Structure 1
Amino acid sequence: MHKQGRYRGLRPHPEKLGVIPLEPGEVSRPVRVRASAQVHDWLKGFTAAELGQLLTQVWQQEAGQGLQGHRKPRKARAGAAEGSSRGAEIAINSPLTLGTVPDDLQAHHMVIVEAMRQGAVIQQDHQGRWKLTGQGTSRTLKPATVEVLTRLGILQ
C-alpha cells in the first residue's frame, strides 16, 4: 500500500510526537499483570523503557541463580481460591531454614525436619513448586505442607 492507503495520515517523523523507535533486537508488547492496586499505581510511574530495564534485571538475577528460561503460565483449577496459599512471609526462590521444632510433630512432617537437619533445603523451583533437595533426597512438597510448617514456626 502507498501513502493513499492506510498510512496516509501518518507523519514522516514519529519522534517529533514523542515516539521513540525501537532499537535493533527490541520488541514492544502489551503484558498483563495480575497484582494489587498498589503495585499497579507503582508501575504507572515507570516508562516502557524503565519497566523493560526492571524486568531485565529480575530476569538476569534469576538466570544467575540457575533458573533459566521463563515461568510457564499455569491454568488455575476450576473453583480454586484467588491468590496464593503460601504465607506472605515466605520469599520466593530463597531457601527456607529450620526453626523451632515441637516435640509432638506429626511423623510425616518429622521426615522433612530430619532431612533438613541432615542438610537438605526447601526451595521453590522456577515453576513455583516447593522442593526438598539435598543429601540424596529430592521430592516435591505440597504447598499446604509448607504453609503448615511455616505457620507452626518450623520453617522460616
Structure 2
Amino acid sequence: MGSLLTRLLWLCSAAGAVQLTERSWQQVAGKTVFVNFHAQWCSHCQALKPTWNKLANAQFRFQDARKEKAILIADVDCSGDAAKFCVDMGVDKFPTLKHGHPLDLDEYKGKKELRDLERFLQELQPVCTVEEQSFCSAAEKKLIKKFQKTSVPALEEVIEELAAEKRK
C-alpha cells in the first residue's frame, strides 16, 4: 500500500500545471487561478515551461498542507484552435501570465524566475466569489446578498455603470 501511495503522489507531483482549454475553462469558475497563456512555437514559452511546472508542483504540495488556500496553476496553449479564445482573454503576447477569478483576470507583471513566482503565489489570495464565499470579507458577503436580492434590470444598470467607469 505504501509503495502504491508513494507512486501516486510522485505522479501527481510530476504532473505540472493543469492543462485548460476553452471547453474546460468554465469548470474553473469560482476558483482562483494563475494561468500561463502560451504558444508551442514561442521560444520564451518553452524556456518558461520547466519553471512553470516546478511552480505547479510546489503549489500542489502547498495546497496539500493548507487546503484552504487552493489556487489552481494552469496552462492554456494558444496555438491553433485556441487562438481566438486567448485573444478573447486579452492575450496579445506570449507568454502571458494572468491571475485571479477566471472571468476577471489580472496580468502578472513580475519576473518569471521560480523564486519570484513562488513569492507572488504565496501572497496571492483566493478571490471572493458568489460560489466560494468562504474567502469573502463580511462587507463582500453583505454586498453579495444585496445583489442577489436586486432585480435583473437594476443589476444590468450597475454593470453598465461599472463598465463605463472602467473604460475611462
The TM-score normalised by the length of structure 1 is 0.29
Structure having the larger proportion of residues in helix: 2
- Specify the structure having the higher radius of gyration (Cα): 1
Higher relative contact order (CA 8 A, sep 6+): 2
The TM-score normalised by the length of structure 2 is 0.27
